[in-house]
Structure 1
Amino acid sequence: MKKLFQYNWTVRDEWFTVCEELSREELTKPRTGGMGSILRTLFHIIDVELSWARAILGKDDVSFVESDFTTIQDLRKLSEQYREDVIDAVSGRGIDLVKPGWMNQTFPKEDILRHILAHEIHHIGQLSVWAREIGIEPISANVVSRSHHKAAKKQHL
């Protein structure tokens, strides 16, 4: 599972690089699917990952004001700022049966980790569709030939 988290982070970082070239108008333009825009969808991916990771660790959820994150650089910083919590959750720390503060249900940690992975992959697919609509080559989804060296070195997973 660690390799898939590294994969997601590598792909996310590549999307950040591509999106840094887009105008604010393009990033916030209303779109069908996802969270309604490129910027909001990237924010949502990070927010969901962090919320679930902190629930696994028994920590309080961190509530962010979406309007405070108006650039790709803001989102990149947010993604990196709490990455250690995600690394701890993926590396086996935390509790095995998790009851997130925003729900009345309990979930196995392994199911939550799989959900985080699938959630991001789902939304990255939406970004790929939007990229094609605006004439940008999407980031490759290839897991087999993708290098994880940057993510592995940076993330210590």
Structure 2
Amino acid sequence: MYTALLHQYQLVMSSREAVFNYLDTLKPEDLLKPVASFNNESIGSLMIHSADTYTSWLVNFARQESRPFYTADNYKDLASIRATFEQINLIVNDFLNHFKDVLDAPLTLPKKEGMELTLSPMQLFTHVITHEFHHKGQIMNMSRQLGYTPVDTDVIRF
């Protein structure tokens, strides 16, 4: 199963690279331009939100480490966003390696206000990659609203 998840994440990275290549065609200032219909978030801030989701669930929750979230400095330009996702790739590899023999084991951890949350490493991994794809669709929509024509960024591209 571990090998299959590594292959699956390679597909995620390939799709993400298609997003990066597309974003490289946008005017640099449009990466940071607030989009009203997306709560005045920018493409850059949404990319970093996706990175923070990996950190939150795979490091802070699953590993019970306290890693800080990314800041606006991490999305001031496309190069800084790419560098952030290089760190995320390391986080994912570490997470999958750490839990490779216990992907279905329940992790019961305190969440907030005395509540506990029980999730498996498989659920966490599935959540973070589907969360990224959800926001990838929003990013393509945001770029359309900024006057661009999005390209195909799916796992299977023609």
Relative contact order (alpha carbons < 8 A, sep ≥ 6): 1 or 2 greater?
A: 1
> Aligned-pair distance for 1:22?
2.8
Q: Per the alignment, do residues 59 and 15 of structure 1 end up closer, same or farther by CA in structure 2, a change over 3 Å counting?
A: same
> Aligned-pair distance for 1:67?
2.0
**CA deviations over 1:40-70 (Å, ceiling 9, x no partner):** 0001111111322224662513213412221
Structure 1 segments, 4+ long, off by >4 Å, are: 99-103
What is the aligned length? 146
The amino acid across from 1:71 in the alignment is D
Q: 1:51 aligns with which of 45, 56, 59?
A: 56
- TM-score by length of structure 1 reads 0.74
The aligned residue for residue 76 of structure 1 is 82
| Identical amino acids, percent of aligned pairs | 23
The aligned residue for residue 61 of structure 1 is 66
| Structure with larger Rg | 2
Q: Per the alignment, do residues 87 and 34 of structure 1 end up closer, same or farther by CA in structure 2, a change over 3 Å counting?
A: farther
Give the secondary structure class of the aligned counterpart of 2:68. coil
Find out whether 1:89 has 2:98 as its counterpart. Answer: no
Q: Per the alignment, do residues 85 and 59 of structure 1 end up closer, same or farther by CA in structure 2, a change over 3 Å counting?
A: farther
Stretches of structure 1 lacking an aligned partner (at least 5 in a row): 147-157
Q: Per the alignment, do residues 101 and 126 of structure 1 end up closer, same or farther by CA in structure 2, a change over 3 Å counting?
A: same
Stretches of structure 2 lacking an aligned partner (at least 5 in a row): none
- TM-score by length of structure 2 reads 0.74
The aligned residue for residue 108 of structure 1 is 120
